[in-house]
Chains A and B, each alone.
Chain A
Amino acid sequence: EVQLVQSGAEVKKPGESLKISCKGSGYTFSDYWVGWVRQRPGKGLEWMGIIYPGDSDTVYSPSLQGQVTISVDKSTTTVYLQWSSLKASDTAMYYCARPVDGPWGQGTLVTVSS
């Protein structure tokens, strides 16, 4: 079964760093783009960026460039989303997904609050 499994919910304080993960299985991991989608509470879906595990080619949304880092570890078939300094506005559900036909991960809820 093709699936993406994400790490668990996180509660952090403003200014802290965070790295969440998305592990792919059931397919040739290097051959498919995997991206991150943000959904703030009560808001719509927004692609943050996407990475091609085969060569680590990464494309970021212009509005998020420099705010987050997307990386990959092919040896563990895992894609990561990382923040160096969280803000309250980063509070959201984060999904990893293969574009269009999926699958999607189950989502990771990140709460940033003092």
Chain B
Amino acid sequence: DIQVTQSPSSLSASVGDRVTITCRASQGISNYLAWYQQKPGKVPKLLIYGASTLESGVPSRFSGSGSGTDFTLTITSLQSEDFATYYCQKYNTALPTFGQGTKVEIK
């Protein structure tokens, strides 16, 4: 099975900071990679699919890049509402797999 490793597991940042989260697949998955945001007690929200396509309604400060095995989620200027946990998910097979999650906390 292809494994997905997300890093870091947590980070502390300030409003206005640039934040980068990475996701690595153990084998190539083309661009079958999505990013989700989850706030406490809420349903996960899709941010990016196809590694770099922004979901409708998601602010442009979110961006995704990568292909094959290495992927990145970037938040260019962190806002207060962005403090949450972020998950990558590969979906190159019928059953997707999530990364371990990255909790973005206030510094």
Residues of A at the B interface (CB closer than 8 Å) are: 33, 35, 44-47, 49-50, 52, 57, 59-62, 95, 99-102, 104-107
Contact = CB atoms under 8 A, between A and B. Distances in A.
Contacts of A44: 85, 87, 98-101
A106 B44 CA distance: 10
Nearest to A35: B95
A35 B91 CA distance: 12
Contacts of B91: 99-100
Contact of A47 (B36, B55, B85, B95): B95
Interface string B3-41: 000000000000000000000000000000010101000
A101 to B, nearest CB: 7
Contacts, number: 51
Contacts of B87: 44-45
Contacts of B55: 101
A108 B96 CA distance: 20
Contacts of A62: 1
Given A45-B101, A47-B96, A59-B95, A101 B46 contact: yes
Interface of B: 1, 34, 36, 38, 43-44, 46, 49, 55, 85, 87, 89, 91, 93-101
B96 A100 contact: yes
B49 A46 contact: no
A60 B95 CA distance: 7
Contact of B95 (A50, A101, A106, A107): A50
B96 A106 contact: no
Contacts of B38: 45
20 contacts: A33-B94, A35-B95, A35-B96, A44-B85, A44-B98, A44-B101, A45-B101, A46-B98, A47-B97, A47-B98, A49-B95, A50-B95, A60-B95, A61-B95, A62-B1, A95-B43, A100-B46, A100-B96, A101-B55, A106-B43
